[in-house]
């Protein structure tokens, strides 16, 4: 059975959504990053980058959430244009990689500098807040004229979107920002109402991850700060 290494962050949740949409049997294996479990040798053998999610599908080991989405969708022949060299395939790759290289990194850095970074952080927060808004506006404009990111067909690009859209207010600093992105909210709500999304919410309740952001968690989540303490 496929093994799914996860925590509750946006990237694992988009993979969980696809697994549930596919009805694909899997064994969920929690990896608590605040406890430093991502650095254990047995997990590094799965993902040497020490990030979630990852899957082990027989002999196939795949890490990076959007790579996993593409791998699983192609394996199942669902939620993805399958024909190479077509316009639909090109659009899918473009929006999938836009989320991988734009939405995820800039939203993640906006979260970091808004909620966790020590002062002074005005310059960094301004940069990543600006870029996060810029990237979300691109999705908003796309969804103003398309039901889904690829038009009329729900697929892995929308699942990748859903993982991060669930946290958009946290990324941008407050619930008031939903008013700026009504089409993002529309699609988020539509996907969240799907039975597969409800099953993801049940998965989220099956394991008690550490919630405290104490010294241990900060050390495990942001190991780069150890270099600062050593002067």
Domain hosting 93: range is 87-193
Give DSSP secondary structure letters for 116-158.
IPPSP-HHHHHHHHHHHHHHHHHHHHHHHS-SBTTBS---HHH
Collapse the DSSP code of 196 into the 3-class scheme (helix H, G, I; strand E, B; otherwise coil) and give the result: helix
Ordered per-residue pLDDT tens for the chain, 231 residues: 999 999 999 999 999 999 999 999 999 999 999 999 999 999 999 999 999 999 999 999 999 999 999 999 999 999 999 999 999 999 999 999 999 999 999 999 999 999 999 999 999 999 999 999 999 999 999 999 999 999 999 999 999 999 999 999 999 999 999 999 999 999 999 999 999 999 999 999 999 999 999 999 999 999 998 888 775
Which residue is listed with tokens 């659009």?
91
Which residue is listed with tokens 């993640």?
108
Same domain, yes or no: 115 and 180: yes
Question: Residue 146 has what pLDDT?
Answer: 98
Question: Residue 48 has what pLDDT?
Answer: 98
Same domain, yes or no: 18 and 57: yes
CATH number of domain containing 161: 1.20.1050.10
For residue 142, is it within any domain?
A: yes
For residue 183, is it within any domain?
A: yes
Instruction: Specify the number of domains making up the chain.
Output: 2
Same domain, yes or no: 189 and 136: yes
Q: Write the CB contacts of 196 (distance below 8 Å, at least 6 apart in sequence).
A: 17, 20, 21
Same domain, yes or no: 222 and 148: no
Question: Residue 231 has what pLDDT?
Answer: 58
For residue 24, is it within any domain?
A: yes
For residue 199, is it within any domain?
A: no
CA dist 10 and 100 (Å) reads: 12
Same domain, yes or no: 120 and 69: no
Same domain, yes or no: 121 and 181: yes
For residue 200, is it within any domain?
A: no
For residue 47, is it within any domain?
A: yes
Question: Residue 229 has what pLDDT?
Answer: 77
Question: Residue 4 has what pLDDT?
Answer: 98
CATH number of domain containing 44: 3.40.30.10
Question: Residue 93 has what pLDDT?
Answer: 98
For residue 93, is it within any domain?
A: yes
Same domain, yes or no: 72 and 99: no
Beta carbons of 156 and 163 less than 8 angstroms apart: no
Same domain, yes or no: 212 and 182: no
For residue 105, is it within any domain?
A: yes
- 29: β partners: 5
CA dist 7 and 14 (Å) reads: 11
Same domain, yes or no: 20 and 118: no
Same domain, yes or no: 224 and 168: no
- 3: β partners: 27, 56
């Amino acid at each position: 059975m496929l093994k799914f290494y996860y925590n509750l962050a946006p990237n694992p949740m988009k993979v969980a959504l696809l697994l549930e949409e596919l009805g694909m049997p899997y064994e969920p294996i929690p990896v608590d990053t605040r406890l430093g479990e991502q650095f254990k040798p047995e997990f590094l053998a799965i993902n040497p980058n020490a990030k979630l999610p990852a899957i082990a599908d027989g002999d196939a080991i795949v890490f990076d959430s959007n790579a996993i989405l593409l791998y699983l969708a192609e394996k199942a022949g669902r939620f993805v244009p399958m024909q190479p060299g077509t316009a639909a395939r090109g659009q899918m790759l473009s929006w999938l990689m836009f989320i991988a290289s734009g939405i995820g990194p800039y939203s993640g850095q906006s979260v970091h500098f808004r909620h966790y970074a020590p002062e002074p952080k005005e310059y960094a927060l301004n940069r990543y807040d600006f870029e996060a808004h810029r990237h979300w506006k691109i999705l908003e404009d796309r969804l103003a004229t398309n039901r889904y990111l690829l038009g009329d067909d729900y697929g892995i690009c929308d699942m990748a979107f859903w993982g991060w859209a669930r946290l958009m207010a946290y990324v941008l600093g407050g619930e008031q920002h939903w008013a700026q992105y009504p089409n993002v909210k529309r699609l988020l709500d539509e996907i969240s109402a799907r039975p597969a999304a409800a099953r993801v919410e049940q998965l989220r309740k099956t394991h008690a991850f550490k919630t405290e952001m104490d010294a241990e968690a900060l050390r495990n989540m942001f190991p780069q700060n150890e270099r600062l303490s050593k002067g």
